Amino acid sequence: MVVPVRERVLSYAILIAMAVLVLIPVVAGSLTAFKPQIIWISSPPVWFFEPTLENFEFVLITRQNWLHLRNSLIISIGSVVIALILGVPAAYGFARFRFRGSKGLMQWLISLRMIPPIVVGLPFYAMFLFLERATGLGLRDTHFGLILTYQTFLLPLVIWMMRGYFVELPAAMEESAMVEGYTRIGALWRVVLPVVWPGIVATALLNFIFAWNEFFLALILAGNNTSTLPMAAGTYIVRARVEWGNLFAVNLIIMMPVIVLTIFLRQQLVKGLTFGILE
């Protein structure tokens, strides 16, 4: 596309201004994580200082946020694994078989993207509580309980994203394998999965981000045993005295894996965020 010089200069100016507005809070905030306590709140802000890791040491060890890190990892990885085990076959089923109601079911899956978390979070809390009172079976404050509830947003997303990858593959692939004597399951396992493997990885990582950043359901359903990193971040705000350096240390621990993943996943990001509606 040929763009007049004036238009291009203006485009650069506006885009760079926006990038600066994005970067200032992110960079300035992240710097605070490396500042020694005495200059956390100095104004004007100190830009040059000897970086220290003492905030990270404090939050992870003294405040035991490594436990929250561990919970976040268990819950995020666990819920993604379950979502993949259930969702990948379902996506394959939707991609390969036309049956009565298949279209309606897919649309229903999209509609799950619209449900506000409070609508499921509230009954989940009550259900877990009543279940525990009635049977002694505790799902409250367990990793499994949270992993189960996270399926409300992860499972539909996995199905929609993976269906896109399966649809792109010619059905002849499994069919010729089945002619050679594989069962459909065998063909799926030996022939199809190795080809869609990159799609599965992308889907898994993207869903990991959504589970990792989740706050609302964890706030309602997690307790001492399962509290996640986003919840730990909130504990550094106590009215009138905020431990900014510690807070940003936790923030940075939450942000880093996601930003690294995003660099590799930019293409899939759109697919995940739009639920594949755009295909």
Partner 1 sequence: MKPDAATQPGGQSLSRRVYRLTQRHRHWFFIGPALLILLAVVIYPIVFSTGVSLFRVTFASTSRPFVGLQNFERMLDNDDFLQSTFNTLYYVVFSVSGSFMLGFGAALLIRRISRGRDILRLILIIPITMAPIVVGLMWNWMLDPLFGLINWFLGLLGIPGQTLLAQASTARLMVVLVDIWQWYPLVFLIIEAGMATLPRAPYESARLEGVSSWMIFRRITLPMLRPVILVALLLRTVDAFRTFDIVRVMTDGGPALTTETLSLYLYRTAFTFNKLSRAAAGSILMLLVIGLISAMMFRFLYKDIEVG
Helix/strand/coil (H, E, C) string of the chain? CCCCHHHHHHHHHHHHHHHHHHHHHHHHHHHHCCCCHHHCCCCCCCCCCCCCCHHHHHHHHHCCHHHHHHHHHHHHHHHHHHHHHHHHHHHHHHHHCCCCCHHHHHHHHHHHHHCCHHHHHHHHHHHHHHHHHHHCCCCCCCHHHHHHHHHHHHHHHHHHHHHHHHHHCCCHHHHHHHHCCCCHHHHHHHHHHHHHHHHHHHHHHHHHHHHHHCCHHHHHHCCCCCCCHHHHHHCCEECCEECHHHHHHHHHHHHHHHHHHHHHHHHHHHHHHHCCCCC
- Shortest Cβ 251–partner 1 spacing (Å): 5
- Shortest Cβ 206–partner 1 spacing (Å): 11
Given the complex with partner 1, which of 62 and 102 has the nearer CB atom?
102
- Shortest Cβ 152–partner 1 spacing (Å): 5
- Shortest Cβ 259–partner 1 spacing (Å): 6
Given the complex with partner 1, which of 104 and 170 has the nearer CB atom?
104
Given the complex with partner 1, which of 62 and 183 has the nearer CB atom?
183
- Shortest Cβ 223–partner 1 spacing (Å): 13
Given the complex with partner 1, which of 52 and 235 has the nearer CB atom?
235
- Shortest Cβ 269–partner 1 spacing (Å): 6
Given the complex with partner 1, which of 54 and 113 has the nearer CB atom?
113
Given the complex with partner 1, which of 74 and 112 has the nearer CB atom?
112
- Shortest Cβ 231–partner 1 spacing (Å): 8
Given the complex with partner 1, which of 43 and 224 has the nearer CB atom?
43
